[in-house]
Amino acid sequence: MAADRPRQDKPVSRDSTSDAQCSAAPKQNPRLLPPLKIWVVVGIAVGCIFLVRTTDLTADHAVNNLLTLGFGFVALMAWILWFSFWSGHSRRLRWLPTGVIISCIALFFIFYRIDHFSGELIPRFAPRFSVPSDQLLPELQNQPSQNDLPKIDLGKSTAYDFPQFLGPQRRATLPAAGLSRDWAATPPRQLWKQPIGAGWSAFSAVNGYAVTMEQRGALELVVCYDLKTGKIQWSHATKARYQHKLGGIGPRSTPTIHQGKVYSLGVTGQLHCFDGANGNVLWKHNLQKEFGLSTEEDAKMLYYGRSSSPLIVNDTVVVPAGGPQEERHYSLVAYDKDTGELVWKNGTSQISYSSPSLVTLCGTKQILNANENNVAGYDPNSGEELWKHDWEGDNLVNPNISQAVAIDGDRVLVSKGYGTGAMLLQILHSPDSGWTTKTIWSRHNALRTKFTNVVIKDGYIYGLSDGIMQCVDLNTGRPKWKKGRYGHGQILLVGDVILVLSESGNVHLVEATPKKHTELTKFSAIEGKTWNNICLYGPFLLVRNAEQAACYELPRE
């Protein structure tokens, strides 16, 4: 019977079994949102960004910007890695965002390059194959004054003269000039605006002529302009070029005009004395060679190039000298201003980017200078160090750039950026104890001047603190107000108002009062990153940056 036949089961193939097992396996569904651990990473990164942007975490805006970029990169990469490896989407879909992002970044950097950084370390881009603007200008070579031009007289003094860095007294301060407080009703009159070679040098002006330093191609130039027309009167070229992404291109020092002569210090240590009438070289020195420095050692000692402006003291011209890192440093060197003969070299501190000034402290004339990691006073006749006070600094990461300022005959103010702030010292001197110093106050949240300097009026200090105008009580160091974002520009006190040349090239007029920040008026002067100091020759305002220069006649009341 059929019922008695043995049952024959249909054989099951191995492939069929595998298919059954696969069909039984749970299918992995793609996730629309990342798991908790990714959210934790992103949340921490975003929280850190919020903390950096809303608090004074590092006391340095540039560092805060780098931290913001870093934490933002961490948050973005956390999401990209999750989506690319663990989101469960198809391989094509998982790698699409990563491919698009990488391709866009690669294409951008194929066609663009980082040209420079702002004072806040924000990168600025330029087409990759574009030529720096200074290389598009005529190199000028050595171009002495022509016979058919009127004789240039830089030995004649006028009441308007602005003969050196930061003005007649190197304090960025001028007496009241009766400037109008309303430039909307009567705008400043542009006399000229034109391209200029690269560099952060400022103008010095005497008797209607203005002198500055600039870079054009492979040549470092000292150039004399007619102040009211912008026409070049003479120029002198030295084969030297400095270029760096952070430091920019060209010389930093401002020439000094004295008794018909022009003194300049190039970025590589070329010190020149010129006949102001025609630009002929009267004498010169190479500080690198004279103080035993190779070009590489000099660049390590002063990573951003020599920036100090020559100072006239009695019959000498004084500049910071320096020396090899492991050998003797000379803080200052003095040459006879007429012959160029060495008069003295002294001091043992490594130099900085600041410039010396002649002051009187405790009834004694002395040269005040901020070195790499201290501030000190020197005998103007011998260069002997009279006193010294520690002022933290490092020429690479924490440089001293701002001027030390003598106040009321026995105090010295130093200030800087990079999260350090300001410090007020009292200088003491007696026959028994000699020279001593003591700190009156030190505040990290006051006057973080990075590339700029302070001005002082009626017991209050004004300066751009991390690019924001700040007023500080001189006696206590306590901030009165902080407002007005001008970037890392420059300031000049004129009577009871402050001229502010912003980092973007705008000129502002701010009232010098501790009550509140009051901006009276402003106008757009030049375009581009502007770190150069202001020169005011009477009502004539000379401004420049690494690409443009201009002269404006400011309205007066």
3-state secondary structure 225-268: EECCCCCEEEEEEEECCCEECCCEECCCCCCEEECCEEEEECCC
Least confident of 88-92, 242-246, 333-337, 413-417: 88-92
Is the predicted pLDDT of residue 10 greater than 60, yes or no?
no
Claim to verify: residue 144 and residue 108 sit in the same structural domain: no
Q: Which residues pair with 239 in a beta bridge?
A: 219
Q: Closest Cα partner for 474 from 543, 423, 436? A: 423
Claim to verify: residue 154 and residue 61 sit in the same structural domain: no
pLDDT on residue 144: 67
Helix, strand, coil shares of the chain, percent, nearest 5, are: 15, 40, 45
Report d(CA 549, CA 203) in Å as an integer. 10
Asked whether 275 and 261 are in contact (CB, 8 A), the reply is yes
Residue at 547 is within a domain? yes
| Integer angstrom CA distances of residue 439 from 59, 410, 443 | 21, 12, 11
Domain endpoint, select from 63, 97, 127: 127
Domain endpoint, select from 105, 127, 149: 127
**How do 281-286 and 243-244 pair as beta strands?**
unpaired
Average pLDDT over residues 402-427: 96
Residue at 509 is within a domain? yes
The larger pLDDT score, comparing residue 298 to residue 312, is at 312
pLDDT on residue 23: 45
pLDDT band at residue 139 using 50, 70 and 90 as cut-offs: confident
Claim to verify: residue 64 and residue 185 sit in the same structural domain: no
Average pLDDT over residues 542-553: 98
Report d(CA 486, CA 500) in Å as an integer. 8
Is the predicted pLDDT of residue 536 greater than 50, yes or no?
yes
Residue at 506 is within a domain? yes
Claim to verify: residue 177 and residue 113 sit in the same structural domain: no
Average pLDDT over residues 52-80: 82
Report d(CA 505, CA 202) in Å as an integer. 14
The larger pLDDT score, comparing residue 496 to residue 64, is at 496
Average pLDDT over residues 242-255: 92
Residue at 227 is within a domain? yes
Asked whether 410 and 360 are in contact (CB, 8 A), the reply is no
pLDDT on residue 31: 67
SS3 of 484, please? Answer: strand
The tokens of 520 are what?
A: 């009276």
| Integer angstrom CA distances of residue 419 from 54, 56, 62, 283, 490 | 16, 9, 10, 41, 19
Claim to verify: residue 344 and residue 232 sit in the same structural domain: yes
Phi, psi values for residue 101, rounded to 5°: -65, -50
The distance of Cα 257 from the centroid of its chain, to the nearest Å, equals: 24
Claim to verify: residue 84 and residue 146 sit in the same structural domain: no
Report d(CA 145, CA 502) in Å as an integer. 34
450-503 per-position pLDDT tens digit: 999 999 999 999 999 999 999 999 999 999 999 999 999 999 999 999 999 999
Question: Structure pTM?
Answer: 0.89
3-state secondary structure 344-412: EEECCCCCCCCCCEEEEECCEEEEEEECCCEEEEECCCCCCEEEEEECCCECCCECCCCCCEEECCCEE
144 burial type by CB count under 10 A (0-12 exposed, 13-18 middle, 19+ buried): middle
Least confident of 177-181, 250-254, 271-275, 411-415: 177-181
- What is the average pLDDT score of the chain? 91
| Number of folded domains that form the chain | 2
DSSP state of 23: H
Q: What is the domain extent for residue 122? A: 31-127
* Torsion region of 301: left, alpha or beta (phi above 0 gives left; psi -120 to 50 gives alpha): alpha
Claim to verify: residue 276 and residue 311 sit in the same structural domain: yes
The tokens of 344 are what?
A: 């003295």
> Which CATH number does the domain housing residue 180 bear?
2.140.10.10
3-state secondary structure 86-142: CCCCCHHHHHHHHHHHHHHHHHHHHHEEEEEECCCCCEEEEECCCCCHHHHCCCCCC
Claim to verify: residue 286 and residue 258 sit in the same structural domain: yes
Is the predicted pLDDT of residue 36 greater than 60, yes or no?
yes
Claim to verify: residue 159 and residue 97 sit in the same structural domain: no
pLDDT on residue 150: 65
Domain endpoint, select from 106, 127, 148: 127
Claim to verify: residue 117 and residue 233 sit in the same structural domain: no
> Which ranges in 408-499 belong to alpha helices (H)?
none
Is the predicted pLDDT of residue 90 greater than 60, yes or no?
yes
Residue at 243 is within a domain? yes
SS3 of 490, please? Answer: strand
pLDDT on residue 395: 94
Average pLDDT over residues 26-35: 66
Residue at 447 is within a domain? yes
pLDDT on residue 21: 46
* Torsion region of 199: left, alpha or beta (phi above 0 gives left; psi -120 to 50 gives alpha): left
Residue at 4 is within a domain? no
Report d(CA 362, CA 466) in Å as an integer. 32
Claim to verify: residue 340 and residue 475 sit in the same structural domain: yes
Residue at 13 is within a domain? no
Residues near 291 by Cβ (< 8 Å), separated by ≥ 6? 321, 322, 323, 324, 330, 333
Claim to verify: residue 119 and residue 162 sit in the same structural domain: no
